[in-house]
Structure 1
């Protein structure tokens, strides 16, 4: 079994430590003794921490690798308002980029790994226009970087399931081809038939024994209606712990009674949520969600694509955005943003991992934890989030996969 010694690091900003990794997991965390003459066992790989922070690697649980333009010339934004208008803009342009879809997806996933993300859940659009082409590009990039990151693929009906003949059949084809998650989107406002839409999504999830991830942009009472239907199916099918509602920002601005009921229901059914730290007033009540045991993860969404000019493959940057958008100033809350961006998302991808239980919870660097880390300089976790330094070393399952923003 390969052994790695990560010397002189500060787990979550704590005391200087030496971390021994056996295989893919942490075997020991011991106090670092400056100037000690301890000689690692023969065959041990030594990673010099240089006093840097040791954090769990990032988990991007809401990214659209199949629509990226990172690495290509910047282009004017041409999207129309609304989900359908933006979808049509993407549909009219994605084939005509300066590089093919396979190259663009691989480039973006590589950049994410180089910056510290080794856990990924990516959408792959499937519809009657693109067929499985975009799904296959994401699957190919996953294979290219199989030893550097764990990647789940969501078969995602961005154009809905009922507006174009053959959409539901194409979604099922992606599941047969190896997609890991069944996607859905705005069952009321886009498809205008929430019962049929959710019957298809949950029916396929039950048939193929897969989890569900539903985009929900619907506002106010309409959004709560869709969320209640999703919860109803989760309970009826015994899919506790297998459902994620992504976005869902307007859900938290209706009333205190709605917020309290939603938190209680999601905690009971282990329905998780993913945010991309949007601008504006619709922010998730992160501390309350953690205290209730609701799993919350972070993602970068589109990456400088035909939907938006934002996104740079850097989850440390998106962690800063999460803290900024929520008005966090206290070190503990900024650290909580980092916990959401790392182990919060990891607990969505792997439900055997514990949920964050408070804003002070800092899992992921103890004995028996999987050894997927990012090493960054900083006086504290909050300082690293504010500074977003380029000096980074990335480990995935016990092995160094990137250093100084380049693959190893």
Structure 2
């Protein structure tokens, strides 16, 4: 396929050739006005062509923190009934998720389709597993992945939302989820939720070792408590040789310490190749995004729950969340706004595929060179910054070199 008349990362107008699911060539635009009469576009006979219409060409979005098993997108709005704290919110979700107008398989499948249509072709979704739901929610996310298997790459995280120690049998269900096909093992707030961080993390990392899967730890814990849990995660990563296979999600409390604490943690994450994923929350300490990028820490973006029993926020559009990332960090300079876009695209991709290089600073714009996977989004706009500000609906989405959505509609 040739994609005609596009501007990679907002640069000069180009024609881009795809072959075997990869970007094969990027060449300056072959202008019709400069071509002799009767001459055709370069390329072999029979090659498909996609008209870019002067739109920007970007790597497709990578949503690396989403809960497809708890979404209510597409269903009637309902009052927010959750209370404060992770345990209280978990109990509220547990009381209501089975009563939705559509079953969890239908909801997960619908929301994943919305995300793909808006440009996300790499997705990392949590699936809650506990003594209440067993593997039902995991199986729903696996079913959604199967439905959209030709449109997106989806990694599924077995996630013990209720902890591992508070309810008898929780650790056994988590292991059952790995046997059932989960790609990643999750953990959550080892100090504040389970109140035994050593045992909690030992269970999680032991499963990761035995099933050869990565680790993703939800960390909502504040300040020094969160930094203590992060230190324990770092210790295990180093001791077990799991560099590149561990991610800390959220990490709300990690960045409100002293300058030396912040710098030390950035350096430690970079040294151990421990990634982090943010959902760009408001009202909390922001990530030191520029410093993390310069150090080479992998950072990805996600939408978390989407209009579910935890929160009324979320709409399936990671470009909207990219705007939120830039806004909550106070970014105004083009380089920094575009860096938010790089985090939402190639930053998350490098978490799902550790063979991809880390972003090399706030000016790094990878993902569109020959040899890169042809997971792409064409979007109308003047510049990458204008795309983040305006979030245009004129988008065409490709996964592995094939058009999977156009105009926010799946193909």
What TM bracket, shorter-length normalisation? Answer: over 0.9
* Residue aligning to 2:337: 334
Question: Counterparts of 1:356-367 in structure 2 under 5 Å?
Answer: 356-367=359-370
Equivalent of 1:38 in 37, 40, 65: 40
* 1:334-368 deviations in Å (ceiling 9; x for gaps): 00000000000000000000100110000000010
The answer to whether structure 1 residue 390 and structure 2 residue 393 are counterparts is yes
Partner of 1:198: 201
Q: Is 1:29 aligned to 2:26, yes or no?
A: yes
Q: Secondary structure at the match of 2:54?
A: strand
Distance 1:38 1:112 in 2: 37
Query: 1:81 corresponds to which residue?
Result: 84
Matched, 1:321 2:324: yes
Partner SS, residue 18 of structure 1: strand
Q: Residue 295 of structure 1 corresponds to which residue in structure 2?
A: 298
Aligned residues: 405
- Contact 2:224 2:253 survives alignment (8 Å): no
Q: Distance in 1 between matches of 2:9 and 2:228?
A: 40
- Cα distance in 2 between the residues matched to 1:52 and 1:10: 6
**What's the TM-score, normalizing by structure 2?**
0.98
Q: Does 1:157 align with 2:160?
A: yes
Q: Once the 2 structures are TM-superposed, how far is the Cα of residue 281 of structure 1 from its aligned partner?
A: 3.6
Match of 1:102 among 80, 101, 105: 105
SS in 2 for 1:196: helix
Conserved? CA contact 2:381–2:387, under 8 Å: yes
In 2: Cα distance, 1:45 partner to 1:250 partner: 50
**Per-residue deviation, residues 49-84 of structure 1 (Å, max 9, x unmatched):** 000000000000000000000000000000010000
Partner residue, 1:136: 139
For residue 331 of structure 1, report the CA deviation from its aligned partner: 0.7
| Aligned ranges 1:6-405 → 2 under 5 Å | 6-35=3-32, 36=35, 37-39=39-41, 40-405=43-408
Q: How big is the shift at 1:280?
A: 1.5
Match of 1:406 in 2: 409
Report the alpha carbon displacement of residue 41 of structure 1 after superposing the two structures with TM. Answer: 2.4
**Secondary structure in 2 matching 1:21:** strand
Deviation, 1:38, is 3.0
2:186 touches 2:204 (CA, 8 Å); kept in 1?
A: yes
- Counterpart position of 1:5: 2
For the residues of structure 1 that align with 2:302 and 2:379, how far apart are their CA atoms? 20
Q: Structure 2: which 5+ runs fail to align?
A: none
CA distance in 1, matches of 2:246, 2:166: 24
Encode CA deviations 1:7-46: one digit per residue, 9 max, x unaligned: 0000000000000000110110000122144334233121
Q: Which runs of 4+ in 1 moved over 2 A?
A: 36-43
Contact 2:129-2:135 at 8 Å conserved across structures: yes
Structure 1 residue 254: deviation in Å? 1.4
Q: Distance in 2 between matches of 1:373 and 1:67?
A: 27
Q: CA RMSD in A?
A: 0.7
Unaligned runs of 5+ in 1: none
Instruction: Find the aligned partners of 1:256 and 1:73 in 2 and give their Cα distance.
Output: 46
